[in-house]
Amino acid sequence: MKVSYMTQEVYERLMSELDVMKTTGRKEISEAIATARDKGDLSENAEYDAAKDAQGMLEAKINELEKQLANVKFLKEEDIDTSQVGILTSVKLLNLKLNKEFTFKIVSESEANIKEKKISVSSPIGEGLLGKKVGEVAQIQTPGGIMELEIKEITV
């Protein structure tokens, strides 16, 4: 089983989302299916088909989230080693090709959000940075070619 690394805060947020999906989400879909069923012939009822599809997608999300939360390893910021890039570290990088600096925080898949400058530990860039130290250059294969990123600073 795959271990998911996350903070207690993220775990609690995901547990809350799971609870909402299992209660409110299931109830709403059940009501939509019942309403569509009451409209007659199910073989030509697009509303019924859409509600059943939504039910399948919701159950798949619930199943995936339950698997992820069943194998959690909690991380505390005070336990994070900043001598090298790892999960929950913030990394200041210099793109050598563009001569541009930027900072990313390495997070679990469930926390990844590029708008918030949080990249997944299992993304190509995340994986390419893991274990690197200040001054090292990571060469990362991306769809646009090889990206060379120099590690400038590692913090929590």
93 beta partners = 102, 151
Q: What is the largest CA-CA distance in the chain?
A: 68
Domain boundary among 44, 74, 104: 74
Mean pLDDT of 63-87: 87
Count of domains in the chain? 2
Domain boundary among 42, 74, 106: 74
CB 79 within 8 A of CB 87: no
Domain encompassing residue 35: 4-74
Domain boundary among 58, 74, 90: 74
In a 3-state reduction of DSSP, which class is residue 5?
strand
Whichever domain contains 97, its CATH number is 3.10.50.30
What global pTM score does this model have?
0.68
Q: What is the dihedral of CA 57, 61, 62, 63, to 10 degrees?
A: 100
| DSSP structure class, residue 134 | T
**Over the stretch 97-116, which tens digit does the pLDDT of each residue have?**
999 999 999 988 878 899 99
Tokens of 129: 């940075």
Residues 95 and 111 in one domain: yes
Give the pLDDT of residue 152: 97
Mean pLDDT of 64-81: 85
**Over the stretch 40-69, which tens digit does the pLDDT of each residue have?**
776 777 888 899 999 999 999 999 999 888
Q: Burial level of 89, CB count in 10 A (0-12/13-18/19+)?
A: buried
Give the pLDDT of residue 76: 79
Whichever domain contains 70, its CATH number is 1.10.287.180
Q: What is the mean pLDDT of the chain?
A: 90
Residues 150 and 84 in one domain: yes
Residues 40 and 84 in one domain: no
